[in-house]
Copies of this chain bind each other. A is one copy, B any other.
Amino acid sequence: MNRPVTLKDIARETGVHVSTVSRALDPNARTSLTREVVERIRTTAERMGYRPNRLASGLRTKRTMSIGLMIPDIENTLFPPIVRGAESVLEPAGYTSIIVNTDSDRKRETKLVDVLLERGVDGIIHAAPYRSDPRMVEVARRGLPMVTVNRQIENCDIPAVVNDDPGGIAMMLRYLHEKGHRRIAHIAGPKNLSTGRTRIEAFRATAQELHLDLPDEALVVSDYFDEQEGRRCTLQLLDSGTGFTAILCANDRLALGAFDALRRRGLSCPEDVSVTGYNGIPFLDLIPPGLTTIQIPQFDIGRIGAELLIKMMADPDVTIPRTTILPVKLVERGSVKRIDPA
């Protein structure tokens, strides 16, 4: 493996000191050099195929131009668009992102934060925090720029970019109401996630506003945002004996699980039960009967999160709003049937 070209090599070649080379190659050099020298150094650097060693410069400057991107699981289709959104601003700014999968496991998360810290990331975007997350709060307090996206950590001042969940849930519930549904069940998300909590609260509030009857059995809380839990909760609803004409699910994967549970019980959607989701993950339009859902701006969540982070890294004292709320919209597909309000 032939040794990469270093500043020293260029210095020897051009007959100047290595520090001069460094300055010549620094786009925003504070010391002025002769135009001629800069030119000569730049061209030989080019010719020799010089590539700066990020390790060395990072060691010296304490800036690695890399950031950590923590997500629950890259296989969950909710997250890749967020990643691309974040990279759409990070990459042009010269940052490289290190993506880690937490698997929503606190122990893993702790370990992964250490990994990121060891690698000297300049900041962290966390797309999967729990509502309470002392470790992340501590790291942020120590001074590492950090933002959370999609979800947020409570009781701290880490900037968060989230969706308008109250608005989205209210919109969806009103939509079901307009479609004639009166007995509406809710499969809520995990209580230890901000999205889980916010959505269930919004559901309750809106249900009350609409004067909907909401028996305890019509509201089940899932342990995870996945299909399996969607199935389990739907079966629980079905078995509880509580009557309902629609299920509002706290996210799409729960809704997909609901589809499956209904099918297993010989019920059809939307004929027997209407179902709605939340997030608007890919492929939903191809899966019958087409899940009516709330589309969140996945790409923008990542993009804006990264923009905020870049601001924070540029100026540690900049004030960033505690939460940035992004608008959502309702996407109508086939999983909701208009019924006659009995």
- Interface residues of chain A, those whose CB is within 8 Å of chain B, are 1-2, 4, 51-56, 58-59, 64, 66, 73-75, 77, 80-81, 83-84, 87, 96-101, 114-115, 117-120, 142-144, 256, 282-283, 286-288, 316
**Docked CA distance A260–B235 (Å):** 33
Shortest 3 CB-CB contacts between residues of A and residues of B: A1-B143, A75-B80, A74-B80
Contact at A81–B75, with CB atoms within 8 Å? yes
The answer, among B52, B115, B286, for a CB contact under 8 Å with A287, is: B286
**Docked CA distance A119–B118 (Å):** 14
Copies of this chain in its oligomeric complex:
2
Contact at B119–A55, with CB atoms within 8 Å? yes
**Docked CA distance A143–B54 (Å):** 19
Contact at A142–B2, with CB atoms within 8 Å? yes
Chain B CB count within 10 A is highest, among A115, A119, A287, for: A119
Q: Give the shortest distance, in Å, between A65 (CB) and chain B (any CB).
A: 9
Q: A51-B117, A74-B84 are contacts. A2–B56 as well, Cβ < 8 Å?
A: no
Contact at B77–A117, with CB atoms within 8 Å? no
- Chain B neighbourhood of A81, CB < 8 A: 75
Contact at B59–A56, with CB atoms within 8 Å? yes
14 contacts between A and B (CB under 8 A): A1-B144, A51-B117, A51-B118, A52-B118, A54-B118, A54-B119, A54-B120, A55-B119, A73-B84, A75-B80, A77-B282, A87-B101, A96-B119, A283-B286
Contact at A55–B58, with CB atoms within 8 Å? yes
Chain B CB count within 10 A is highest, among A2, A58, A316, for: A58
The answer, among B55, B77, B99, B142, for a CB contact under 8 Å with A55, is: B55
The answer, among B51, B73, B99, for a CB contact under 8 Å with A99, is: B99
- Chain B neighbourhood of A119, CB < 8 A: 54-55, 66, 96
Q: A75-B81, A75-B84, A83-B74 are contacts. A2–B286 as well, Cβ < 8 Å?
A: no
- Chain B neighbourhood of A2, CB < 8 A: 142-143
- Chain B neighbourhood of A286, CB < 8 A: 256, 283, 286-287
**Docked CA distance A2–B80 (Å):** 33
- Chain B neighbourhood of A143, CB < 8 A: 1-2
